[in-house]
Amino acid sequence: MDLAGKKLMILGAGRHQMPLIQSAIDLGLETHVCSIDGDYPGIVMAPNFHAVDISNQHQVLSLAKALQPDGILTTATDVCLQSIGTVVDELGLHGSGLNASSACLNKAILKQKLVESGVPTAQYRIVENANDAAEFFSDHSSSCVIKPVDSSGSRGVTKVSDVSEIQDAFQTAKSFSRTGGILIEEWLEGEEFGAQAIVRNKRCELLILHSDITTAPPRRIPVGHGCPHPEEDQLLVLVQNIVDDAIECIGINDTISNIDFILTENGPKIIELTCRMGGTRLPEVCGTYWGLDFYALAIQLALGLDVALPATPQGKPNAAHNLILDREGRLAEMDEVGDEFVHEIYFKKGQQIAVNAAQQAELGFVQLIRDDAIAISSDLVDEVNRLTNSVRIEVN
Ligand SMILES: Nc1ncnc2c1ncn2[C@@H]1O[C@H](COP(=O)(O)OP(=O)(O)O)[C@@H](O)[C@H]1O
Ligand SMILES: [Mg+2]
């Protein structure tokens, strides 16, 4: 594949963009990394760095007009998706345009498009106040969930099982919504799982299912994943059409799309989907099972190149789990993770750890990889869950 002379813009220079930047460099691309200036590891490794606010569409577009890249992408962050959509539209690049990225960033638009196209998703209503939410709640027999239309990382998303919880949940959602938009939807009972859809020329060329590990309600946050999903064969039959319809109605293109599902007793329903690959080490988890470098793949898609996809998985069953903490402080003590596990710890003893807006700090991750293809992946997920939960972390 001739990549020489091709120019790529990567938005974001944080820890989670580092493997994407490295892949672009390894592919021999002229790599332009964009981020606000600061103490970001991706800046140090960037062959070309541009200090711009990647959430600012105008700044990113004017830089893109000057650079004239052959492709633009990010991973693991949503803040720049509209900037990417704008550049894709204006420069006629491969990828998802502004309409698609705007829908992915606003659940009011996303849900409306899904419902109009008959894609299974939780029943919902946009609500102006807690009374509207209470009305929807009383019309539904199940629990509900209240969320901002335009947040991410489970921030401001709360399950409500009693009408008395609605006021607080509404206020919490409000405090995390940029536009103030709030929705309530029925809580879907069932297992959460996800998919990475490799989309080229508006078609899903490969659909990879994975299992999800989340924190317990009322606020579920994805913390780990396993691949393959233990019921992959049965589930693929159920979700392929749903995925095709969802991708088409949102207009997702030339990317790896992250899709979240709940497997209800009435079949799988979409919680949300987006025009970039998933975070929480999903590129590594799915890539390890299929024997694919997801970062290189996402770059090739963004450049509009053909991608060579194997017919069957060529890698190893595996599961990864973040090491997380729900309080801040200086790292005092942390159990060592055995060298038999793939793992990385981002902090050293004595270093200050800050929680994010979801009241969580990510300290590192552990990945379990099995050599034998017959390893039961649900066991792997349980094992990695147990292992990470047993790691003692103390801060003061
Ligand atoms: N309708 C629902 N039924 C059951 N669980 C839900 C529902 N909506 C959200 N969740 C849980 O909350 C998490 C975060 O919600 P989501 O809508 O994906 O918000 P965000 O955009 O912040 O990720 C989901 O991953 C899921 O675990
Ligand atoms: Mg989500």
User: Which atom of ligand 1 sits closest to the CA of residue 144?
Assistant: 1
Q: Is the CB of 271 under 6 A from ligand 1?
A: yes
| Domain span including residue 297 | 189-315
Assess whether 307 and 194 both reside in one domain. yes
Q: Is the CB of 122 under 6 A from ligand 1?
A: yes
Structure confidence at residue 373 (pLDDT): 61
24 phi-psi bin (left φ>0, alpha ψ -120 to 50, beta other)? alpha
Report the number of distinct structural domains present in the chain. 4
Separation of CA 333 and ligand 1 centre (Å): 33
Query: What is the rounded distance in angstroms from the CA atom of residue 60 to the CA atom of residue 330?
Result: 36
CATH code where residue 66 lies: 3.40.50.20
Domain presence at residue 241: yes
DSSP label of 7: E
DSSP codes of every residue in 46-114 = -SEEEE--TT-HHHHHHHHHHH--SEEE-SS-STTHHHHHHHHHHHT-SS--HHHHHHHH-HHHHHHHH
Threshold 0.85, pTM exceeds: yes
Domain presence at residue 367: yes
Q: Is the CB of 272 under 6 A from ligand 1?
A: yes
Separation of CA 367 and ligand 1 centre (Å): 24
Structure confidence at residue 375 (pLDDT): 59
Task: Please choose from 79, 145, 264 the residue to mutate so as to test ligand 1's pocket, defined by most ligand atoms within 8 A of CB.
Answer: 145
Whether 278 and 194 have beta carbons less than 8 Å apart is answered as: yes
Last residue of a domain, one of 268, 300, 315: 315
Last residue of a domain, one of 186, 208, 232: 186
Q: Is the CB of 154 under 6 A from ligand 1?
A: yes
Domain presence at residue 324: yes
Residues of the chain below pLDDT 70: 1, 373-377
Mean pLDDT estimate for the chain: 95
Structure confidence at residue 220 (pLDDT): 87
Structure confidence at residue 374 (pLDDT): 61
Q: Whose CA is nearest to atom 16 of ligand 1?
A: 154
